Amino acid sequence: MKRLTAILTLLIALTVSHTAKAQESTYKFDMGGQIGVSGYLGDASSSIFSHPGFSGGLTFRYLPDVRWSLRTLVNALTISGDTRGMDDVFPNEGAFDFKATVFELQERVEFNFFSYGIGETYKRLRRWTPYLAAGIGISVSTCQGQTNAGFNIPMAFGIKYKAKPRLNLALEFSMTKVFSDHIDGPLSDLHQIKSSFARNTDWYSDISFSLTYEFGERCATCHYVD
């Protein structure tokens, strides 16, 4: 956990320091929504999308330059699982299933592989770019009358495309590790065997499509001549 925190702190510091040196984007912010398909990996699932769900949320970015952004994401997902059909054998040959709704708030740092934008060819801007993202957040789930929460670490890879100067499309795959074994409600230690922390925590994923609109035009640099 300390190592992950140190990495995230370094990424944020690099973003802030890089702003003064890099080319600025035309607008300072973008905002929009996203929809997608969610998946779950935990005690009651052997593969991520064996029981797909629905996701939807709002996204807001601060755009310090054409390579970096700071993103706030508010999202809701449905996840579910069922041990029937799994290769695992549980004590007393038990079978378990659940359905849950997860609400998440995340702060991410995004890095564009290419300088992202339209026009200004001298800046070598491209209308599309792959990007990586990582961050920290909190997940709150409701399942079978129970509410549980845990900190999370999201990691994502995606592709952005600028359809118009202020309109952006993106397709993204994310994996989120939750530092709790109760996002799936009462399902915990189904094997009744102590194992590693990595195994006894839940993951969920999201394949999402987003549409965002840029705003907050930057003031042009003035070169005053007397």
Q: Would you kindly state where each structural domain of the chain is located, as residue ranges?
A: 2-20+31-216
| Spatial distance between the Cα atoms of 24 and 3, rounded to a whole number of angstroms | 31
Distance of CA 25 to the CA centre of its chain: 23
Confidence of residue 224 (pLDDT cuts 50, 70, 90): very low
Among 2-11, 69-78, 95-104, the least confident range: 2-11
Q: Is the pLDDT of residue 197 over 50?
A: no
Per-residue confidence (pLDDT) for residue 21, from 0 to 100: 43
Q: What pLDDT, in 10s, does the model give residues 176-187?
A: 999 887 777 665
Asked if 184 contacts 212 with a C-beta cutoff of 8 angstroms, the reply is no
Per-residue confidence (pLDDT) for residue 145, from 0 to 100: 83
Confidence of residue 26 (pLDDT cuts 50, 70, 90): confident
Structural fold of domain 2-20+31-216 = Porin (2.40.160)
Contacts of 38 (CB under 8 A, 6+ apart): 52, 53, 54, 55, 77, 78, 79, 102, 204, 205, 206
| Spatial distance between the Cα atoms of 212 and 36, rounded to a whole number of angstroms | 15
For 216, left (φ over 0), alpha (ψ -120 to 50), or beta?
Answer: left
